[in-house]
Amino acid sequence: MLGLFNNKRAKRNAEKDLKDRTTILKVGNFAVTEAYNQLRTNILFAVSAQDSNIIEFSSSFSGEGKSITSANTAITIAQANAKVLLIDCDLRKPVQHKIFGLKNDKGVSTLIGRMSKAEDTIHKGVIENLDVLTSGPIPPNPSEMIVSKRMQELFEEFSQKYDYIIVDTPPINVVTDALELTKYTSGLVLVVRQGITTYEDIKKSLSSANLIDANIIGVVLNDVRDLKQKYGRYNKYGYYKSYGYESKDEKKLTDVKRKK
Ligand X SMILES: Nc1ncnc2c1ncn2[C@@H]1O[C@H](COP(=O)(O)OP(=O)(O)OP(=O)(O)O)[C@@H](O)[C@H]1O
Residues binding Mg ion (CB under 5 A): 66-67
Smallest distance, Å, CB 168 to Mg ion? 6
Name which position in 39, 53, 65, 89 contacts ligand X (CB under 6 A): 65
Q: How far apart are CA 142 and CA 232, in angstroms?
A: 32
Name which position in 53, 60, 62, 182 contacts ligand X (CB under 6 A): 62
Sheet of strand 54-59: strand arrangement: 123-127, 130-133, 84-88, 164-168, 54-59, 188-193, 216-222
Which residues are within 8 A (CB) of 95 and not within 5 positions of it... i.e. 6 or more apart? 15, 18, 67, 88, 168
Site for ligand X in 129-158 (CB under 6 A): none
Q: Which is nearer to ligand X, 159 or 172 (CB)?
A: 172
Question: How far lies 228's CA from each of 34, 38, 60, 194, in Å?
Answer: 24, 25, 21, 10
Closest-by-Cβ residue to Mg ion is 67
Name which position in 36, 54, 66, 110 contacts ligand X (CB under 6 A): 66
Does 79 participate in binding ligand X (rule CB under 6 A)?
A: no
Smallest distance, Å, CB 68 to ligand X? 3
The binding site for ligand X (CB under 6 A) comprises 14, 17-18, 21, 59, 62-68, 90, 93, 95, 171, 222-223, 243
